[in-house]
Amino acid sequence: MATTAVANPKIASREEWLTARKKLLAKEKEYTHMRDALAAERRALPWVRVEQSYSFDTPAGKKTLSDLFDGRSQLAVYHFMFGPDWKEGCPSCSMAADGFDGVLPHLIQRDVTFTAISRASLDQLEAFKKRMGWRFPWASSKNNSFNHDFQVSFTKDQLASGKIYNFGTMQFGAEEAPGFSTFAKDSSGNVYHTYSTYGRGLDELLGVYYLLDRTAKGRNEDTLPHPMAWVRHHDRYEIRPASADSGCCSAGH
């Protein structure tokens, strides 16, 4: 765990800080408006009908993609990196998943059902889910082509062919990749693919980064072999007791 101090911070008076902060606030507001406009464009994307029904393994038995909507008109899917031969899920996907449970009741209020989907077997998913203490729905696509069709699983030949990830704009080094997709159902029950995002498009699902980006050190990843090299499953961090970091409650009290 890194404990080095911030190098050469600029020190200012409260008045100077406030002036600089208001200047940054103007840029933040501009970004917020741009983000809202981008979200509107995202919602305006055309829909593509999903002709294949797929068959997923779930704790409640076999379910089609339509079944996963669970009676709602919208479905949000996190493509969780967990291959059939893996012993555990991806640590980075797990960091995102640590925030899923809390949003589930809020998504339901907006007519959205959420599920994670991976190619690992249902037994693998359930065991790992229990270990992590998660409650969100998680379906296995081990016996269908869903992951390949939505460009989050690749064959060795595909990996060797070059840019295959993020709509063919990036190379990828593993057979499983992360992603997020949304689907909608019309009044006739037809299912449509409405949106997908990959790579850095998943940043907003990482609440940890939202907080880190507002701290003095930020993500503090510049000297690491690659971004997120520091991430572990939450049960594998070495957390020091609070008293080790605090000067209070020390000798003399």
- Domain containing residue 51: CATH number: 3.40.30.10
User: Does residue 177 sit within a domain?
Assistant: yes
User: Does residue 29 sit within a domain?
Assistant: no
User: Does residue 112 sit within a domain?
Assistant: yes
Count of structural domains, the chain:
1
Alpha helices in the chain (DSSP H): 14-43, 91-97, 100-109, 122-132, 146-149, 156-160, 207-212, 242-245
Best CA proximity match to 79, nearest among 208, 10, 165: 165
User: Does residue 136 sit within a domain?
Assistant: yes
User: Does residue 227 sit within a domain?
Assistant: no
User: Does residue 135 sit within a domain?
Assistant: yes
* pLDDT (tens digit per residue) in 62-111: 999 999 999 999 999 999 999 999 999 999 999 999 999 999 999 999 99
Band (pLDDT 50/70/90 cuts) for residue 1 is: low
Question: Do 75 and 182 form a contact (C-beta atoms < 8 A)?
Answer: yes
Domain range spanning residue 192?
Answer: 43-205
Please give the biggest Cα pair distance in the chain.
Answer: 73
Band (pLDDT 50/70/90 cuts) for residue 247 is: very low
Q: Token digits for 73?
A: 């008109």
Scanning the structure block, which residue is given the tokens 């296995």? Answer: 140
> Phi and psi of 146, rounded to 5°?
-55, -50
Using only C-alpha atoms, the chain has a radius of gyration, in whole angstroms, of 22
What count of other Cβ atoms lies within 10 Å of the Cβ of residue 149? 14
How much is the pLDDT for 131?
A: 98
Least confident of 115-119, 163-167, 191-195, 242-246: 242-246
Q: Token digits for 179?
A: 């992603």
User: Does residue 26 sit within a domain?
Assistant: no
How much is the pLDDT for 8?
A: 81
Contacts of 121 (CB under 8 A, 6+ apart): 57, 84, 140, 142
User: Does residue 66 sit within a domain?
Assistant: yes
Q: Is the pLDDT of residue 2 over 70?
A: no
Question: Do 108 and 136 form a contact (C-beta atoms < 8 A)?
Answer: no
pTM for this predicted structure: 0.90
